[in-house]
Amino acid sequence: MFSWTERELNAEQAAAICSPGSVFLVACPGSGKTRALTYKIAYELSRLESERQFVVAITYTHRAADEIQERIESLGVDTSRLWIGTIHSFCIEWILKPYSIYEPNLAHGYRIIDLHEREKLFERLCEPYAAQRITFYDCEYYFAHDGYHLGCPNQGKHPALHNILAEYFQILSANKQIDFELILWYACKLIERLPGLSVLLSQMFSMMLVDEYQDTKEIQYSIITAILRAGVGATRLFMVGDPNQAIYGSLGGYPISIEDLRKLSGIPIAGRELSRNYRSSARIVEYFGNFNVHNTTIAAVGVDKDYQSLVSYDNQVTRDALVDEIARQIRHNVEELGIPAHEVCVLAPQWAHLAAMTRRLVVSMPTYQFDGPGMVPFARDTENFWYKLSRIALTEPSPTMYVRRLRWAGDVLADLSDAGVPPGISRKEFLRQCNTIVVNEEDGLAYLNRFFDELFARLGIQFRDLPQLSEHHVAFFESSRRRIARLEADGVDAIGDLSFFRKVFQNRSGVTLSTIHGVKGAEFDVVIAFALLEGMVPHFNDADGEVSARKMLYVVGSRARKNLYLFSEADRNRGGRFGTYQPTQSLAACIFPYDEV
């Protein structure tokens, strides 16, 4: 039986983990949510009584799934009966693959459309509506029980977007393709059409764990609670999240209440709370507490709780002077306070803001490195076969990476089997083949191309004869070339070099640049955020503006351990007769004893 000492978990965490029934856990930032989730999974795995039972954990990202599984394995717990991954991966593995023959639109085969293909298709479909200023970014949508909902808040664009989506769905159907949202839609339809499916899954799953519940969509709740309902308590639930960090409302995510969750699932669920913040200083906690929408309890208790944090807010700096001011704060923290560069993060609402800032920071700070999701030379399309293989190609064999690379090898081999060519080798042998490939190329794409060709020559597989692999191959390289061209146009030099490619799967080493949405789940000693302006935070089309702004500011503040610098630049032009952007109202209204820096 898995156990722990009092030094490993606090009383709140231990109580949630030892709770025998289902738990709805509201966890404040820095409260050890991932640790609690990890220990709960390990605890439940050690209590399984049947070889036919599984523990299922649904995470928001693949990276989170990797991290949690590695932590569990480091605790010495057998993970052979753990399934962990995103909700999309769950639906593919447990619902679509075994039961798609019962869905007429999938019965004759299907392929998940590559993100690059999706973007190109939407761009083409948007061309006739250029006069209405409709772009690919307006075409985001999500499914609920009553059909699809548009993510674009601009009602004036909706008629055209409905036309675009109608044509989009027709094209996908004709090509036997589905996208990520259709994965959820068809999984939900199969759950509804086949009552026995939920019963079967409930008999297999001892427990389902859900991380970041506040970003879960209605249709995802429906899939999960259908299994819980069918089990009549046989499958228990452990759901964790923070309603104050629900910043994906425009894409359908929302923090369900415990009362609604009980009604949907039909099972008793106990509410619990993690209120002890081990991450930030008391001053940082006090600050972001000003934007606490749901009035959750937060107490600073970590090693840095007494740190004399700097919290500053500047709404006078001009846009031209902003880069020098941000560079000054980076240098002050790294060179004078001794904070490592990789513990500094620069945030903005949108990547467009960060691209220009990155270019200017690189020029003004040539001795510093800058990392960030927007500077990745290829899209993190986690369902693209060649992206999965690139993770192995671009990482070095090492004891610390062995478990992760072995799991990646399993993913690649499973995809090869799905494509109709079981390679007939073990994960270890597959890794050995990859590790012995030597490619003398400094260009990242050329390196990957030669690596892939060499590996498949060794395996004796003609991948270009397999539609699924060949189409993914074209999409992977086309999207990468476009991404590199876009970043080079923004002034990011050497983005196509192999060294840049390798950084994608390495631990960050330089100053991180990210959007507010992209930084969720991360933490840094120092956070610097700019473009905190009405119309950006929140977005001018956001129907629930003030609440959204407070949640975004809560996320920004709660990423910082020690120091926090906020900027609402004074002269960012809105264009034409609209004048300049004004500071985010929720931020401007916050009364706090800011530091002069």
Residue 266, domain CATH: 3.40.50.300
Average pLDDT over the chain, rounded to an integer: 92
| DSSP 8-state assignment for residue 335 | I
- Please report whether residue 595 resides in a domain: no
pLDDT band with cut points at 50, 70 and 90 for residue 382: confident
- Please report whether residue 31 resides in a domain: yes
- Please report whether residue 596 resides in a domain: no
Claim to verify: residue 453 and residue 467 sit in the same structural domain: yes
Structure tokens, 63: 């990276």
Q: What is the DSSP string of 427-472?
A: HHHHHHHHHT-----SBHHHHHHHHHHHHHHHHT--GGGSHHHHHH
Checking if the pLDDT of 580 tops 80, the result is yes
The mean pLDDT of 90-104, rounded to a whole number, is 95
Claim to verify: residue 396 and residue 496 sit in the same structural domain: yes
Claim to verify: residue 189 and residue 148 sit in the same structural domain: no
Checking if the pLDDT of 374 tops 70, the result is no
Each residue of 63-77: pLDDT tens digit?
889 889 989 999 999
Relative to beta strand 344-348, strand 524-529 is parallel
The mean pLDDT of 49-66, rounded to a whole number, is 91
- Please report whether residue 553 resides in a domain: yes
The mean pLDDT of 281-304, rounded to a whole number, is 97
139 Cβ contact list (under 8 Å, min separation 6): 122, 125, 126, 152, 161, 164, 165, 168
Claim to verify: residue 454 and residue 431 sit in the same structural domain: yes
pLDDT band with cut points at 50, 70 and 90 for residue 303: very high
pLDDT of residue 353: 84
User: Do you know the residue count of the chain?
Assistant: 597
Claim to verify: residue 394 and residue 496 sit in the same structural domain: yes
For residues 538 and 585, the answer to whether their CB atoms sit within 8 Å is: no
User: How much of the chain is in helix, strand and coil states, percent to nearest 5?
Assistant: 50, 15, 35
User: d(Cα 265, Cα 374) in Å, to the nearest integer?
Assistant: 39
- Please report whether residue 263 resides in a domain: yes
pLDDT of residue 491: 67
Each residue of 492-534: pLDDT tens digit?
777 899 988 998 887 777 999 999 988 888 999 999 999 999 9
Residue 120's H or E segment, with its range, is helix 115-126
Relative to beta strand 147-150, strand 141-144 is antiparallel
Q: What is the pTM of this model?
A: 0.88
**Which residue, of 502, 537, 555, is where some domain finishes?**
502
Claim to verify: residue 71 and residue 203 sit in the same structural domain: yes
pLDDT of residue 541: 63
pLDDT band with cut points at 50, 70 and 90 for residue 423: confident
Each residue of 331-353: pLDDT tens digit?
999 999 999 999 999 999 988 78
Cα distances (angstroms) measured from residue 370 to each of 344, 355, 360, 495, 507: 10, 11, 11, 12, 12
User: d(Cα 45, Cα 82) in Å, to the nearest integer?
Assistant: 7
User: d(Cα 164, Cα 132) in Å, to the nearest integer?
Assistant: 13
| DSSP 8-state assignment for residue 539 | B
- Please report whether residue 2 resides in a domain: no
Checking if the pLDDT of 399 tops 80, the result is yes
Claim to verify: residue 76 and residue 117 sit in the same structural domain: no
Instruction: Quickly list H helices, 491-562.
Output: 498-503, 545-558
Query: Of the given ranges (86-100, 275-289, 489-503), which has the lowest mean pLDDT?
Result: 489-503
Checking if the pLDDT of 14 tops 90, the result is yes
For residues 57 and 65, the answer to whether their CB atoms sit within 8 Å is: yes
Residue 300's H or E segment, with its range, is strand 299-300
pLDDT of residue 22: 98
pLDDT of residue 58: 97
pLDDT of residue 373: 58
- Please report whether residue 5 resides in a domain: no
By residue range, what is the domain housing residue 145? 111-175
**Which residue, of 456, 481, 502, is where some domain finishes?**
502
For residues 190 and 197, the answer to whether their CB atoms sit within 8 Å is: yes
Claim to verify: residue 310 and residue 437 sit in the same structural domain: no
Each residue of 107-123: pLDDT tens digit?
998 988 878 889 899 99
Claim to verify: residue 124 and residue 154 sit in the same structural domain: yes
- Please report whether residue 594 resides in a domain: no
Checking if the pLDDT of 583 tops 80, the result is yes
Position 107, amino acid? A
The mean pLDDT of 94-113, rounded to a whole number, is 93
**Which residue, of 472, 502, 532, is where some domain finishes?**
502
Claim to verify: residue 22 and residue 155 sit in the same structural domain: no
Count of other CB atoms within 10 angstroms of residue 22: 21
159 or 492, greater pLDDT: 159
Claim to verify: residue 407 and residue 492 sit in the same structural domain: yes
Position 40, amino acid? K
pLDDT of residue 543: 63
Top-ranked range on mean pLDDT: pick from 305-309, 507-511, 576-580: 305-309
Bond before 268 cis per omega within 30 degrees? no
| DSSP 8-state assignment for residue 492 | -
pLDDT band with cut points at 50, 70 and 90 for residue 53: very high
User: d(Cα 9, Cα 70) in Å, to the nearest integer?
Assistant: 18
H helix count then E strand count, the chain: 22, 18
pLDDT of residue 257: 96
Claim to verify: residue 442 and residue 489 sit in the same structural domain: yes
Number of domains in the chain: 4
